Structure 1
Amino acid sequence: MEVKRKVPMPDTRSIDISDDYAVGYWMQELNTTKVKLLAAVAEVGDSFEAVKKQLKKP
């Protein structure tokens, strides 16, 4: 019998780039690459809304 474990969801207000699970989660959630995600966090900080807005810029 397979035991299912709950995986904690990352904080939805900020992006923790030191947590590999959170980075993977946000890459999928924002449909972006790790390089673009890290660049956006470096540019505008770790706020989810700010990063989301930055990634939408052309």
Structure 2
Amino acid sequence: MVLRDLSHLIESQHAVRADALYQAWRENWQALGKDDESVLVIDNALDDLRSDILQTLKDLD
């Protein structure tokens, strides 16, 4: 939830990625440990958000 809230303070693309991560978590958390696909969905959404934020931080330099 904090990631989603904070992402709205910077570029709009981060808010979209954070919302996608929230959605992936909400739809897949119950299958963790039972279904490898749910791990991949959550992990991919997290990686997308992380990559975008790291790029924004690099661009500040």
Return the TM-score normalized by structure 2: 0.27
Higher helix share: 2
Return the TM-score normalized by structure 1: 0.28
